[in-house]
Amino acid sequence: MQQGRPPMEAHKAERAFEPDATPAQTNRSPDGRESYDERRNHILVVATDLIARVGYERASMREVAKAAGVSLAGLYHYFENKEKILFLVQFRTFSFLISSLREQLHGVSDPVEQLRVTVRTHVGHFAANMAALKVCSHELDSLTGDAYEETSRLRHEYYNIARGIVDRIFDTLAPDSPLDRHIAAMSLFGTLNWLYRWYDPKLSRSPSSVANQIVTQFLGGILNTDRAIQRARPDE
């Protein structure tokens, strides 16, 4: 069996928090056995669920191993340590989110349409990967050192995309708005990152209808300050 990645070379440097050179290529063996990548991804899925359910600190390696059907020591054949698991969950989720957002955004020039695409992508991705998105929203500070810097970089990249769209909406539709654009963008982010606390697409409305309402509220909120402002701050 040749397709595995040598795990022992990991000691050679602290470049360990870079992503995989060959990420999850899912090369199944001729027989029915799982490949290294498949097994690794399976463990990652199980770990994501557990971390989402009980939190990173309470999710022990023993429980991850049990849930994944591997021995405790066997877990370390796939991940050099616990933090690496959390890092990979966040790294892959953010990376996928950013790249699919860029893909969806390609060719869309209307800023409002760009916002629609962005919120739709986020909510849709949340509905399809609730555990992973919860972990990304809730365990932001659980990483340390290089792993933290790396995911922090990705979060800012994600923020900058959204912030750029918000800026363009302001520029084209409400260039003289008195609203602080950073606050506006963070309000939107708050709404999106708080989804995991209440929204279950299996119990409630469809992702696209939730996304639509969020976009509608956001646009109304920044486009019609005149009418709202009279009611919102009569004194100041």
Partner DNA sequence: GATTATACCGAACGCGCGTTCGAGCGATCA
Partner DNA sequence: TGATCGCTCGAACGCGCGTTCGGTATAATC
Candidate residues 16, 24, 45, 61; the one interacting with DNA per rule CB under 7 A: 61
8 binds, among its own copies, DNA, none (CB under 5 to 8 A by kind): DNA
Two tokens, residue 233: 């701050």
The answer to whether residue 186 forms part of the interface with its own copies (CB under 8 A) is yes
The answer to whether residue 149 forms part of the interface with its own copies (CB under 8 A) is no
> Considering only 15-23, 77-85, 188-196, 199-207, which stretch makes contact with DNA by CB under 7 A?
77-85
> Which residue in 183, 59, 188, 211 sits closest to 124, CA to CA?
211
224 binds, among its own copies, DNA, none (CB under 5 to 8 A by kind): its own copies
The answer to whether residue 57 forms part of the interface with its own copies (CB under 8 A) is yes
Instruction: Identify which of residues 1 and 13 has a Cβ nearer to DNA in the complex.
Output: 1
> Which residue in 168, 103, 90, 91 sits closest to 131, CA to CA?
90
89: CB partners within 8 A, 6+ apart: 44, 47, 48, 51, 132, 135, 136
The answer to whether residue 7 forms part of the interface with DNA (CB under 7 A) is yes
The answer to whether residue 133 forms part of the interface with its own copies (CB under 8 A) is no
The answer to whether residue 29 forms part of the interface with its own copies (CB under 8 A) is no
Calculate helix-pair angle for 225-232, 207-223, nearest 10 degrees. Answer: 80
Token pair 């923020």 is found at: 159
The answer to whether residue 172 forms part of the interface with its own copies (CB under 8 A) is no
Find out whether 97 and 125 touch, Cβ atoms under 8 Å: yes
Q: CB 61 → DNA: shortest distance, Å?
A: 4
Phi, psi angle pair for 146, to nearest 5°: -60, -35
Instruction: Identify which of residues 70 and 132 has a Cβ nearer to its own copies in the complex.
Output: 132
Candidate residues 12, 15, 32, 73; the one interacting with DNA per rule CB under 7 A: 73
Find out whether 162 and 188 touch, Cβ atoms under 8 Å: yes
Two tokens, residue 2: 């040749």
1 binds, among its own copies, DNA, none (CB under 5 to 8 A by kind): DNA
Residues for the chain: how many in total? Answer: 236
Interaction pattern, residues 126-145, with DNA; x per rule: CB under 7 A: --------------------
Label residue 29 left, alpha or beta by phi (over 0 means left) and psi (-120 to 50 means alpha).
beta
Q: How many CA atoms lie within 13 A of 220 on its CB side?
A: 8
The answer to whether residue 216 forms part of the interface with its own copies (CB under 8 A) is yes
Two tokens, residue 156: 């800012």
Instruction: Identify which of residues 54 and 229 has a Cβ nearer to DNA in the complex.
Output: 54
Q: CB 215 → its own copies: shortest distance, Å?
A: 5
Find out whether 162 and 118 touch, Cβ atoms under 8 Å: yes
Contacting positions for DNA (CB under 7 A): 1-8, 36, 39, 58-63, 70-78, 80-83
